[in-house]
Amino acid sequence: MKTIIFIRHGQSLANVSHTLTSDIDGYPLTDEGIVQAAGIADTTDKTKIDRLYTSPILRAAQTAQIISKKCGIGPIADKRLMERNMGS
């Protein structure tokens, strides 16, 4: 049986500044967000992960990259996982 695990990105500058954004290259993880992503990576080390998908948005990609180092597979960016149509 396949299991799908959803993980939200770690804290980003957008979270800290209360900014709702789909800017692909802005708003990286904060130091706290890096710690959060590493914590999630530590909990996944006993889980066999076959694939790791991520939004290409920086904060999500950074989170996936941290997790991927622990599980030994590269993340696959997929634009369908991006936020969209958020309005003004």
Check 54, 63, 83, 88 and give the catalytic one.
83
Is 32 annotated as catalytic?
A: no
Check 9, 14, 29, 54 and give the catalytic one.
9
Is 9 annotated as catalytic?
A: yes
SS (H, E, C) 15-72: HHCCCCCCCCCCCCECHHHHHHHHHHHHHCCCCCCCCCEECCCHHHHHHHHHHHHHHC
**Residues classed as catalytic:** 9, 83
